[in-house]
Amino acid sequence: MKTQFLSLLTFVLTASACSVPSEEVASSHEAAAAVELQPKAFFTTPSKMEKNPVQNAYVIVDISTDTPDIPNAIEVDYIPEIDAVVYEVEEGAYIEHDVPYQEDAVVVVDNADDQLVDSDLWVALSSTVNRTVGFIGSAPADIQLHCTKTGNHAVVYEEGEEEVYESEVIRRVIEFSKGDVDYFYVPVLQEDVSDMLEQAIVFAQEEGVEVFARNGERF
């Protein structure tokens, strides 16, 4: 009788061990379930995958590798120094996704109230004489006064303008870096600089011009 009872007990324990999965098995089952429950990739129609809608009336296109075919686009400017073309496009038009472009954003150039005391630009002007710093739209009042005190000069392009397109900023950075400007003030913060504006800044730096951001930081 005792032998039968032990045999029965052994059978029950063995069956229980088989029916309860180990932690490793349970974990693998949970992982498999998690994979199965992951949402499937969202399917987008080919027309939306291959084209991007344009929100602005103007775009800046990188043509360093190819000249794209943009339907109904009108070329309004060519900037050879960075291999870029500015196009006017129809609002809501679509551009192929593989075309390297950026929208021609509006940049605020009303800089008169900017405070640049003790900035990199301020310090640079403090240690030099007879240097020219270029601005677009207007120059911060404190920098203008500082230039007068230190024997430097502030030159303002597009004076009186409050807003310009980014392509115009790019054009000015490049054009005036070829002239007599020693410093150039770009009315954009470093973290907001686009790829093409950055190319223009690099061009100016290679021409020997020191470039500063809206808060007076040196690029």
Q: What is the pLDDT of residues 51-76, one digit of tens each?
A: 666 767 899 999 998 888 888 899 99
Task: Please tell me whether residues 66 and 25 are part of one structural domain.
Answer: no
Question: What pLDDT is stored for residue 9 in this prediction?
Answer: 43
Number of domains present in the structure of the chain? 3
Q: According to the model, what pLDDT value does residue 149 have?
A: 95
Mark whether 119 and 205 lie in a shared domain: yes
* pLDDT, tens digit (0-9, with 9 covering 90-100), for 131-140: 999 999 999 9
Domain CATH code at residue 156: 3.40.50
Say if 218 falls within a structural domain: no
Same domain assignment for residues 154 and 180: yes
Residues of the chain with pLDDT > 90: what percent?
62
Residues 118 and 203 in one domain: yes
189 neighbors 108 (Cβ within 8 angstroms): no
**Contact (CB, 8 A) for 87 and 179:** no
Determine, yes or no, domain membership for 115. yes
Residues 159 and 137 in one domain: yes
Domain final residue pick, 104, 122, 150: 104
Same domain (yes/no): 30, 98: no
- pLDDT tens digits along 83-123: 999 999 987 778 888 889 999 999 999 999 999 999 999 99
SS3 184: strand
Domain region containing 121: 108-212
Residues 125, 69: one domain? Answer: no
For 5-41, the three-class secondary structure string (H helix, E strand, C coil) is HHHHHHHHHHHHHHHCCCHHHHHHHHHHHHHHHCCCC
Structure tokens at 209: 């011009």
pLDDT score, position 51: 61
217 assigned to some structural domain: no
CA 35 to CA 142: how far, in whole Å? 61
- What region does 137 belong to: left with phi over 0, alpha with psi -120 to 50, or beta? left
Instruction: Tell me whether residue 139 is in a domain.
Output: yes
pLDDT tens digits for range 201-214:
999 999 999 999 99
Model pLDDT for residues 152-178, shown as the tens digit of each residue: 999 999 898 999 999 999 999 999 899
Task: Assess whether 115 and 182 both reside in one domain.
Answer: yes
The whole-angstrom separation of Cα 219 and Cα 210 is 8
Looking at the structure, tell me whether residues 129 and 141 fall in a common domain.
Answer: yes
Mean pLDDT of the chain: 81
Report if residue 219 sits inside a domain: no
Domain check: are 114 and 208 in the same one?
A: yes
Question: pLDDT category, 193, cuts 50, 70, 90?
Answer: very high
Length of the chain: 219
CA–CA distance, 185 with 218 (Å, rounded to integer): 9
